[in-house]
A = this chain, B = another copy of it.
Amino acid sequence: MNPLPELISRGEEPLNLEMPFSSLREFVTPNEKFYVRCHFPVPEINPVVWRLRIEGVAEPLELSLEELEAMPRQTIQATLECAGNGRSHLQPKVKGVAWDIGAVGNAEWAGVLLRDVLERAGANGSACEVILEGLDHGMIKEPPRPPNEINYARSLPIAKARQDVLLAYAMNGAPLAPEHGFPLRAVVPGWFGMASVKWLQRLVVTEEPFHGYYQSIDYTYWEDRDGMPTLVPLTEMRVKAQIARPEAGEVVPAGAAYRVHGAAWAAEDEVARVEVSVDGGDSWAEAQLLGEPVRNAWRFWEFEWETPAEPGAVTLLARATDAAGRTQPAQRVPEYGTYMINHWLPIEVQVR
């Protein structure tokens, strides 16, 4: 059963829920509207006996939730987007959870910095990566696959791990809900959601690159190198603007003022510009960015649209550009496979 009725179910075993993006209102997404992505059943965890183990370090240690909460508390906002958000719009259809555009949300996370935990455990200078392992586990069914059950796990380069990664025990002021990773999850600012491992049970500091399932087979894409495709793990989110309203198929009044609005996000650099087209991409006009930029959070935007006097179908598009000049491609990039869906997405509406 879907435990969060405000969300749309994209599968219950494992649990996958998304926000109806047309319901976008709050800059900080309420917990009950925040998308849920699971790979295996949600683990049931007793917080009293639960420990976070840190291995591959000078002084391997185990930390209880109480001990983590006693460390310096850090609060950040971070927008997380599932790497497959928008997948149902790909042509031809591909495998994977058939997300519309609501597998994205922005929350305020509280916890301890990963770098503080690494320092406490005496992680040394020759480390190359930190592997984050969750308690969620199960069998992979499609080959190529490991022969036995695996736990969800993903690694971070040591530089990112030491920069701004949070081990969060609270989301918007409340303890994490089970489906959001209770009692502890990673929040990796700027990266697609697959990096923000939930239900953490272990950190392994390693001197060699990790090639676990979720960064070698799954959550990867093909990058050209010297004319040859090479498989690369997904990392940072791609710059993207999404239209919340009007939504696809919406009927809008003719010859009226309509407030087009939505959100835009990027990774390392902030969103510098959002443009809207109301003629299927032939011409573009700048939208207004709202509020002030918040580091690692999305930016809301709006655009005042004078709808046509004549009834008919209209195709709207939005596109974002970040401060480094990165923008969205007009067409789908085939090398991205089933991920990083940030080409222009047409929203067709009816003017009446």
Interface positions of A (Cβ within 8 A of B) = 55-56, 95, 131, 133, 143-144, 146-148, 150-151, 153, 204, 206, 209-213, 216-217, 220, 222, 225-226, 228-232, 334-335, 337
Given contacts A204-B228, A206-B225, 12 further A-B contacts (CB under 8 A): A144-B217, A144-B337, A146-B335, A147-B335, A151-B228, A204-B226, A206-B226, A209-B209, A212-B229, A213-B229, A216-B231, A217-B217
**B231–A211 touching, CB < 8 Å:** yes
* Choice from B143, B151, B212, B220 contacting A230 with Cβ under 8 Å: B212
The 8 closest A-B pairs by CB, nearest first: A147-B334, A146-B229, A216-B231, A211-B231, A211-B230, A146-B222, A204-B226, A153-B228
**B337–A226 touching, CB < 8 Å:** no
Copies in the complex: 2
Give Cα A133–Cα B225 distance, bound, in whole angstroms.
Answer: 12
A228 in contact with B150 given A144-B217, A144-B337, A220-B144 (CB within 8 Å):
yes
B residues within 8 A CB of A216? 216, 220, 230-231
**B148–A334 touching, CB < 8 Å:** yes
Distance (Å) between the CB of A240 and the closest chain B CB?
21
Distance (Å) between the CB of A25 and the closest chain B CB?
38
* Choice from B144, B147, B212, B217 contacting A228 with Cβ under 8 Å: B212
Distance (Å) between the CB of A212 and the closest chain B CB?
6
16 A-B pairs whose Cβ atoms sit less than 8 Å apart in the complex:
A95-B143, A131-B226, A131-B228, A144-B217, A144-B220, A146-B229, A146-B335, A204-B226, A204-B228, A210-B230, A211-B231, A212-B228, A212-B231, A213-B231, A216-B216, A216-B230
B residues within 8 A CB of A209? 209
Closest to A230 in B: B211
**A232–B217 touching, CB < 8 Å:** no
Give Cα A222–Cα B148 distance, bound, in whole angstroms.
Answer: 10
Give Cα A95–Cα B231 distance, bound, in whole angstroms.
Answer: 22
Closest to A218 in B: B144
Closest to A204 in B: B226
